[in-house]
Amino acid sequence: MSALPEFTFDHAAAMLSDREFATVRELIAAHAGIKLSPQKRNMVYNRLLRRLRARGLSSFGDYLQLVQREGSDEREAFVNALTTNLTAFFREPHHFELLAEHARARARGGKPLRCWSNACSTGEEAWSIAMVLREAECPGEVLATDIDTDVLQTAQAGVYRMERTAGLPPERLRRHFLRGTGSNEGLVSVRPELRSMVRFAQLNLQAPAWPALEPCDVIFCRNVVIYFDREFQKRLLARLADLLVPGGLLMVGHSESFPAAHPGFRSCGRTAYERVGG
């Protein structure tokens, strides 16, 4: 029996036309609420090119037809491909210093601290929150959500290459991670004590209704609203305000200031806001 001919991919033939790029922008806005700027065209091309290869397609037109097909199994992969997932342990450390103060104060009262990482990506943010709570000896729980199912799998697994944890102090690394041996050499895994504190789930911030969520003491909503238009930012902020208890904290990205316009928030640090009123 002769071997099947190997599929070859012609990069030059796979051009992303203006019309196709416009369709991509419409689809990602409809399915994820992400507003892609015209400057993201190269990013879209490079990321979707991988999906074309994975599906054995030779044109963006064919690929977009697949995405739009009723009940398509490619729609989730399309959203995953265009979701930006830049993260790191203790990224923007001033937020975790403020969280530690909050956690130490709460620990004295013994009441659990409920935290939500609502664009958790591959999990570093959520695990960092849990580390802070554990170090402060503050009982608590962390809900970690993302629209991207691929990164959620990585986050929930809690296994990382050692270079991803290179910025952590040795004592923190020893306390919260297990070092891989044998076939797992070069990997670290989150310890069970930390795993028990974090729950992962898929959630689309753009969805008209969210699953029932418990009131939160701390919400991390960082570097995600930049993909939403101003009207949705306002609606999202109102929903976050409703979820936060009075005195609760909202952490946003290093270039974001959208909570400043809401009367229910006051600045309490660099890109950090406290929920005031009820």
Same domain assignment for residues 74 and 146: no
Whole-number percent of the chain with pLDDT over 90: 61
* Domain endpoint, select from 82, 113, 135: 82
Q: How many folded domains does the chain comprise?
A: 2
pLDDT > 50? residue 7: no
Task: With respect to residue 206, please indicate whether it lies within any of the assigned structural domains.
Answer: yes
Using the predicted structure, report yes or no on whether residue 12 has a pLDDT greater than 60. no
* Residue 75 is a catalytic residue: no
CATH of the domain at 157: 3.40.50.150
Say yes or no: 55 and 186 in one domain.
Answer: no
pLDDT for the residue 80? 75
Q: Report pLDDT for 8.
A: 44
Question: At which of 82, 110, 134 does a domain end?
Answer: 82
195 is catalytic: no
Q: Give residue 278's pLDDT.
A: 60
Same domain, 73 and 204: no
Whether residue 123 is found in the same domain as residue 55: no
Q: Clarify whether residues 151 and 127 are in a common domain.
A: yes
pLDDT value of residue 33 = 63
Cα–Cα distance between 55 and 245 in angstroms, integer? 46
pLDDT reading at 75 higher than 90: no
d(CA 178, CA 192): 9
Domain boundary among 82, 106, 135: 82
14-52, pLDDT tens digit by residue?
A: 789 999 999 999 998 877 667 777 888 988 998 899 889
pTM: 0.77
In a shared domain, residues 197 and 262: yes
> Sorting pLDDT into bands at 50, 70 and 90, what band is 84?
low
In a domain, 73, yes or no: yes
Residues 113-124: pLDDT tens digits? 999 999 999 999
Q: What is the CATH number for 48?
A: 1.10.155.10
Domain housing 25: 18-82
Residue 9 lies in a domain: no
pLDDT band with cut points at 50, 70 and 90 for residue 9: very low
Same-domain status, 202 and 233:
yes
Range of lowest pLDDT (4-8, 114-118, 135-139, 217-221): 4-8
Catalytic residue among 41, 47, 53, 55: 47
Please report the pLDDT score of residue 144 as a whole number: 98
Residue 102 and residue 55 share a domain: no
Q: What is the pLDDT of residue 190?
A: 97
Residue of 106, 114, 146, 275 with catalytic role: 146
183-192, 219-228, 233-242: which has the minimum mean pLDDT? Answer: 219-228
Mean pLDDT over each residue of the chain, to the nearest integer: 88
Where residue 99 falls among pLDDT bands split at 50, 70, 90? very high
